[in-house]
Structure 1
Amino acid sequence: MRDLSNLRVAVLVTDGFEESELIQPVQALKAAGAKVEILSTKQEQIQAFRHHDKGVTVAAEGLIDQANPDDYHAVLLPGGALNADMLRVLPKVQAFLKRVQETGKPIAAICHAPWELISAGLVQGRSLTSYYTIQDDIRNAGGKWLDQDVVVDGNWVTSRQPDDIPAFNREMLELFSRTAAATASTGTR
């Protein structure tokens, strides 16, 4: 088991997220000791979906508009078409992701979440995967889309869909553990 006890992870999400793509990665992160904070566009319960059907609700623990990306060591972007489509157009989400990328912190994105990376202008020259319906968006943004269960490119790990969560979680924990080790060795928060 990876030790992520030195890691603080921001989860950017709003209504319409794919339930398993938040719940299972967050459980994996917490099991490894990470401090996970769910940040949303509203400080209340946010609605999950299981593809087209409503799922559980999850409490937001903070607001994206008030969050400082420098306070986190990594970012998780759950999928869900509605979630990603609503978040991608928000200037604060774009700025948050740009800052995370500028500082080289790891980003884990699954399913439709790469839309947020596209809208933040970060995909040019990157190799990644996503839900198959947005492969043209990735290519049009200058990225290389790969039809694989998981793709790791530098500080990014991406996956296609809920079936890929085991591989996604494995690679996310591996990528985030390198940051956790660096954080522990330098004594940064």
Structure 2
Amino acid sequence: MTTETLKGLKIAILVEDGFEQVEMVEPRKALDEAGAETRIVSPKNEQVRAWNFTEWGDEFPVDVALDHAQPQDFDALLLPGGVLNPDTLRTEPNAVAFAKAFFDDGKPVASICHGPWTIIETGAAHGRRMTSWPSLKTDLTNAGADWVDQAVVVDQNLVTSRNPDDIPAFNPGMIELFSNACGRRDAA
């Protein structure tokens, strides 16, 4: 991947305790290597703890507390999965409003695994072609999405993937989608 592709782009990574560690760490690394400035945004104020496949993982510092985060300060949004993380975020009105603002403003969003649960709550799943962890198929279909079983799906300003095994396809799809935000920001 070309470095500096996303130079100057500010990416919010919205997470709560229990996000799947590899689904945040690997995409964040790819974004940082492409020149983006990534920030962990969370309802937690200081640290947020990952889930590492079958047990608790590492703790990561929260860069911006959700109560102080402004969607207009960011160019794009990453929603990692894990079961606990999006299940908690979708019940947090401030988290749903934060994510919804990206869709309302036409900003790009990337989501993997169980991350689309938060998207369902924003109302933005309706009418989109999406993928996710297979157990979300019914939830996404009921929310009006066209669920497909593919490694990566891009629909307008949204890119989704199924699971950690899809990260090699997810990261380039995310970088390409987010690179469109660079031109949009430059034109503003």
**Which category describes the TM-score, using the shorter chain as reference length?**
over 0.9
Matched letter for residue 111 of structure 1 = C
* Aligned-pair identity (%): 46
Q: Distance in 2 between matches of 1:61 and 1:109?
A: 20
SS in 2 for 1:57: strand
Give the drift of 1:51: 2.0
Give the structure-2-normalised TM-score.
0.96
Matched letter for residue 48 of structure 1 = A
1:171 maps to which residue? 173
1:89 to 88, 91, 100: 91
1:50 to 49, 52, 65: 52
1:159 maps to which residue? 161
Q: Distance in 2 between matches of 1:114 and 1:7?
A: 23
Give the drift of 1:6: 2.0
Give the drift of 1:71: 0.9
Give the drift of 1:21: 0.2
1:107 to 109, 112, 117: 109
1:70 to 69, 72, 82: 72
Check conservation: 1:104, 1:155, Cα contact below 8 A.
yes
Matched letter for residue 51 of structure 2 = F
5+ long unaligned stretches in structure 1: none
Matched letter for residue 144 of structure 1 = D
5+ long unaligned stretches in structure 2: none
Check conservation: 1:128, 1:153, Cα contact below 8 A.
yes
Q: Distance in 1 between matches of 2:92 and 2:57?
A: 24
Give the structure-1-normalised TM-score.
0.95
1:20 maps to which residue? 22
Check conservation: 2:126, 2:144, Cα contact below 8 A.
yes
Provide, for residues 102-142 of structure 1, a one-character-per-residue CA deviation record: whole Å limited to 9, x for no partner. Answer: 11000000000000000111111111000001110000111
Provide, for residues 5-58 of structure 1, a one-character-per-residue CA deviation record: whole Å limited to 9, x for no partner. Answer: 121000000100000000000000000110111011112221111222111111
Q: Which moved more, 1:170-179 or 1:43-52?
A: 43-52
Q: Distance in 2 between matches of 1:95 and 1:44?
A: 21
Matched letter for residue 100 of structure 1 = F
Runs of 4+ in 1 over 3 A off after TM superposition: none
Provide, for residues 118-173 of structure 1, a one-character-per-residue CA deviation record: whole Å limited to 9, x for no partner. Answer: 01111111110000011100001111100000000000000000000010000000
Q: Which moved more, 1:174-183 or 1:19-28?
A: 174-183
Check conservation: 1:6, 1:183, Cα contact below 8 A.
no
Give the drift of 1:181: 2.6
1:38 maps to which residue? 40
